[in-house]
């Protein structure tokens, strides 16, 4: 690797033969060179480079943008499957089973387990690890947990970037497991090509699911714990729901009963995942989803950077003078506008 400030060859491009990204000529800082080197190793399928890059995403390391840029041309090959549903519905156990099937089919698998509700790597994530533990010695399976860690709204963006790294690292099947059905989970699910919604006989009636707005994002419904009583009723309710709401849609979400503990129904699920992928790939829907995802990503970056700029502007202004006199004279809108645009151009 060239040292600090060394010049490299022209045009950043991926070199198939050496599995390295070739840099344009110019001066590079040490951290830039490290990011460049990391991108090369990641693209070559190096597991430790993948782990390091995902940690950079979590830590909001600014050099991750460079890594992502350099590996971008390697992405777009993975089938990204989102798995969501209430805590304890058996998502991780089910993922473990799906991983098993995919591995026997020769796929390389990446898993991101996200927990938007918890600011710490708490119980749910620990459970995920344990549930999928038998794959930890298989280099064909890469599993990482991500917690919210305070970046509010940033988790969806972080998950998106992590999945892109898995994709670039040659994982052709990716799972994104997330807890619950709240707004941030829906955001995370937008990362997926195919979204699986897991329910159980204990999860209450199907109407609850509509309320949570999950119906729009569900491509496949799973009634897990089908070994428990009441599964047939949940199955029927969901079938009715799909018929009523998606009767004329190009893709009608199948409802699949599984028992993740025994593996019953998992083959059917894996087959449905493939069918859904084929259906959206041939109909142009996959491309549409990816375009939407990119749009959401650009929006998120604009919002994040704008907020950063606003915070910096606030930091520079103390507002002591404005707030010293009669508070009734303070127009918060006008003051906010002056802070955002100290040079006088108004935003509207
Ligand atoms: N009876 C039964 N229990 C299951 C099944 N799948 C998972 N479980 C159990 O449900 C609990 C929660 O599973 P887990 O995969 O961690 O759920 P998650 O929170 O949705 O990821 C564990 O004790 C599992 O062993 C199933 O199909 N049948
Ligand atoms: Mg789990």
84 within ligand 1 shell (Cβ under 6 A): no
Residue 129: count other Cβ atoms within 10 Å of its Cβ: 15
65 within ligand 1 shell (Cβ under 6 A): no
CA–CA separation, 319 and 172 (whole Å): 53
227 within ligand 1 shell (Cβ under 6 A): yes
126 within ligand 1 shell (Cβ under 6 A): no
Ligand nearest to the backbone CA of 89: 1
97 within ligand 1 shell (Cβ under 6 A): no
The predicted structure's pLDDT at residue 42:
96
User: Which atom from ligand 1 is nearest to the alpha carbon of 259?
Assistant: 27
Distance 47 CA to ligand 2 centre (A): 23
CA–CA separation, 335 and 333 (whole Å): 5
Q: φ, ψ for residue 201 (rounded to 5)?
A: -60, -25
Ligand nearest to the backbone CA of 145: 2
Q: What is the 3-state secondary structure (H, E, C) of the chain?
A: CCCCCCCCCCCCEEECCCCEEECCCCCCCHHHHHHHHHHHHHHCCCHHHHHHHHHHHHCCCCCHHHHHHHHHHHCCCCEEEEEEECCCCCHHHHHHHHHHHHHHCCCCEEEEEEECCCCCCCHHHHHHHHHCHHHCCCCCEEEEEEECCCCCCHHHHHHHHHHHHHHHCCCCEEEEEEEECCHHHHHHHCCCCEEEEEECCCCCCCHHHHHCCCCCCCCEEEECCCCCCCHHHHHHHHHHHHHHHHCCCCCCCCEEECECCCCECHHHHHHHHHHHHHHHHHHCHHHHHHHHHHHHHHHHHHHHHHHHHHHHHHHHCCCCCCCCCCHHHCCHHHHHHHHHCCCCCCCC
145 within ligand 1 shell (Cβ under 6 A): no
Pairing of strands 20-22, 13-15: antiparallel
Q: Pick from 93, 202, 262 the residue to mutate for probing ligand 1's pocket: most ligand atoms within 8 Å of its CB.
A: 93
User: Which atom from ligand 1 is nearest to the alpha carbon of 224?
Assistant: 27
Write the residue with the smallest CA distance to atom 26 of ligand 1.
225
260 within ligand 1 shell (Cβ under 6 A): yes
The predicted structure's pLDDT at residue 1:
41
Q: What is the pLDDT along the chain (348 residues), one digit of tens a residue?
A: 443 333 333 344 545 555 455 555 567 788 888 899 999 999 999 999 999 999 998 888 889 999 999 999 999 999 999 998 888 889 999 999 999 999 999 999 999 988 655 544 444 555 566 677 777 788 899 998 887 555 555 777 888 899 999 999 999 999 999 876 566 667 777 889 999 999 999 766 555 665 657 778 899 999 999 999 999 999 998 999 899 888 888 899 999 999 999 999 999 999 999 999 999 999 899 999 899 888 888 887 888 889 889 999 898 888 888 889 899 999 999 999 999 888 876 544
184 within ligand 1 shell (Cβ under 6 A): no
User: Which atom from ligand 1 is nearest to the alpha carbon of 177?
Assistant: 21
The predicted structure's pLDDT at residue 258:
98
The predicted structure's pLDDT at residue 291:
92
Q: In this predicted model, what pLDDT tens digit does every residue of 139-198 receive, in sequence order? A: 899 998 887 555 555 777 888 899 999 999 999 999 999 876 566 667 777 889 999 999
The encoded tokens of residue 311 equal 């915070």
Q: In this predicted model, what pLDDT tens digit does every residue of 143-160 receive, in sequence order? A: 988 875 555 557 778 888
The predicted structure's pLDDT at residue 6:
37
Domain 75-292 carries which CATH code?
A: 3.40.50.300
The predicted structure's pLDDT at residue 9:
38
90 within ligand 1 shell (Cβ under 6 A): yes
Residue 295: count other Cβ atoms within 10 Å of its Cβ: 10
What's the pTM? 0.82
Domain residue ranges of the chain, discontinuous segments joined by +: 13-73, 75-292, 294-340
The encoded tokens of residue 229 equal 């009583």
Pairing of strands 194-199, 255-257: unpaired
The encoded tokens of residue 145 equal 């947990």
């Amino acid at each position: 690797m060239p040292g600090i400030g060394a010049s490299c060859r022209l045009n950043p491009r991926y070199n198939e033969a050496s599995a390295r990204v070739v840099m344009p000529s110019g001066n590079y800082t040490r951290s830039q060179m490290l990011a460049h080197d990391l991108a090369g190793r990641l693209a070559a399928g190096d597991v430790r480079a993948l782990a390091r890059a995902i940690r950079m995403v979590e830590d909001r390391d600014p050099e991750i943008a460079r890594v992502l840029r350099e590996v971008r041309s390697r992405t777009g090959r993975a089938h990204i499957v989102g798995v969501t549903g209430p805590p304890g519905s058996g998502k991780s156990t089910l993922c473990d089973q799906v991983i098993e099937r995919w591995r026997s089919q020769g796929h390389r698998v990446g898993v991101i387990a996200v927990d938007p509700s918890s600011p710490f790597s708490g119980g749910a994530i620990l459970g995920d690890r344990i549930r999928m533990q038998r794959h930890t010695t298989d280099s064909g399976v890469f599993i990482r947990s991500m917690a919210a860690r305070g970046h509010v709204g940033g988790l969806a963006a972080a998950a998106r970037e992590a999945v892109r790294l898995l994709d670039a690292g040659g994982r052709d099947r990716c799972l994104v497991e997330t807890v619950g059905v709240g707004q941030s989970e829906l955001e995370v699910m937008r990362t997926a090509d195919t979204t699986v919604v897991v329910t159980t006989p204990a999860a209450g009636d199907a109407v609850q699911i509509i309320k949570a707005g999950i119906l729009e994002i569900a491509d496949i419904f799973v009634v897990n714990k089908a070994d428990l009583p009441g599964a047939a009723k949940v199955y029927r309710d969901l079938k009715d729901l799909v018929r009523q709401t998606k009767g004329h849609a190009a893709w009608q979400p199948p409802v699949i009963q599984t028992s993740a503990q025994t593996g019953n129904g998992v083959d059917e699920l894996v087959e449905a995942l493939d069918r859904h992928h084929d259906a959206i790939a041939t109909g142009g829907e996959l491309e549409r989803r990816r375009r939407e995802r990119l749009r959401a990503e650009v929006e998120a970056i604009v919002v994040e950077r704008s907020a950063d700029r606003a915070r910096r502007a606030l930091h520079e202004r103390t507002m002591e003078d404005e707030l010293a006199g009669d508070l009734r004279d303070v127009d918060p809108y006008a003051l906010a506008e002056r802070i955002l645009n100290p040079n006088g151009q108004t935003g509207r």
